[in-house]
Amino acid sequence: MKYGFIGMGNMGSAILYGMLKTSNFSSDDIIGFDVDRNRAQSIAEETGIRICSSCSETASESDVIILAVKPQQLPTVLKEISELQGLEKKLFLSIAAGFPITRIIYLLLEPSASVIRAMPNLNASVGEAITALCQDSPATKEQMEIARSVFSSVGEVVLLPEKHLGVFSAVAGASPAFTFMYMDALAMAGVQAGLPRSLAEKIAIQAVKGSSVNASLSEEHLDALRDRVCSPAGTTIEGVTVLEENGFKGSVMRAVRSVIEKDEKLSEQA
């Protein structure tokens, strides 16, 4: 089976590298195209994959086509691909945010096209992504397993109906940015209290990493884990109180809602 990447930017290349780190995929099975020819050639030299000259060549020679371009570029790509024959035999995996399956099929000019939307997040670059696959995609069970195999190479995979992908994108896709901001705030507080910046960052990053592992291994509710750190009349509860007084949770929830609303606008414009 041949896998073709259309777009090998940060996310596309992260998925490509993740696939090659597993025993399920070989560089001989992967081809790709990117408008940045220098970047594409560099990836080819590093991985051994073959670079194609166009989107249509990539799609023509692939059984599974990973659409890893920006949403605003996708219509042009799909228009070029739509001129090919045999599209009904191929599987399309799209990671374009806010671009619904019905729109992709419409632009492909192939009503029977098999399209699966997938939403990985930034952490695919380190093999720790959480990816949502659209469970109500027009694809067979076997094709869904192919998609799961591709995206499980860069982390965990969950199945969601398409109507929830916008929410997923906000919680999973935007949250790394929020988390980096939180870690930076912790580090800055450490610097303010006298720690060297490098040490403060190391402490903050490991604290968040350890908390994440702790939460993933625990069966307790997140609030219960928080309460385990907050001893009665202790020091931590003082900090938690300040965060609550300043609307910490509410701010995060409003931030997520704003991302969801933006995704909805993109979907309407697609």
Determine contact, residues 132/84, Cβ cutoff 8 Å.
Answer: no
| Integer Cα distance of 12 and 22 in angstroms | 16
One domain, residues 157 and 180: no
The pLDDT mean for the chain works out to 94
Residue 168 lies in a domain: no
Percent of the chain scoring above 70 in pLDDT: 100
Q: Residue 191 domain-assigned?
A: yes
The residue range of the domain holding 100 is 3-161
Q: Cβ neighbours of residue 42 under 8 Å, at least 6 residues apart?
A: none
Task: Give the residue, 242 or 264, on which the prediction is more confident.
Answer: 242
- Whether 71 and 118 share a structural domain: yes
Instruction: Calculate mean pLDDT across residues 226-243.
Output: 95
Question: Which of 161, 185, 209 finishes a domain?
Answer: 161
Residues 132 and 180 in one domain: no
Same domain, 42 and 157: yes
Domain boundary among 134, 161, 188: 161
Radius of gyration over every alpha carbon of the chain, rounded to an integer in angstroms: 21
Residue 235: pLDDT over 80: yes
Residue closest to 105 by CA, chosen among 67, 132, 141: 67
Phi-psi region of 155 (alpha: psi -120 to 50; beta: other; left: phi over 0): left
pLDDT of residue 270: 64
What does pTM read for this prediction? 0.87
pLDDT score for 210: 96
Q: Which residue has the higher pLDDT, 128 or 263?
A: 128
User: DSSP secondary-structure letter at 97?
Assistant: T
- Mean pLDDT value of segment 226-234: 94
For residue 87, pLDDT over 90 is answered with yes
Instruction: State pLDDT tens for residues 32-84.
Output: 999 999 999 999 999 999 999 999 999 999 999 999 999 999 999 999 999 99
Do 21 and 125 fall within a single domain? yes
The CATH number of the domain where 110 resides is what?
Answer: 3.40.50.720
Domains: count for the chain? 2
Write down the pLDDT at residue 179. 96
Given a cut of 80, whether residue 266 has pLDDT beyond it is no
Model confidence at 137: pLDDT above 90: no
Examine the fold and report which residue of 106, 139, 161 is the final residue of a domain before the chain moves on.
161
Mean pLDDT of 249-260: 94
- Please count the other Cβ atoms lying within 10 Å of the Cβ belonging to residue 202: 14
pLDDT score for 44: 97
Cα-Cα-Cα-Cα dihedral sign, residues 166, 36, 55, 128: negative
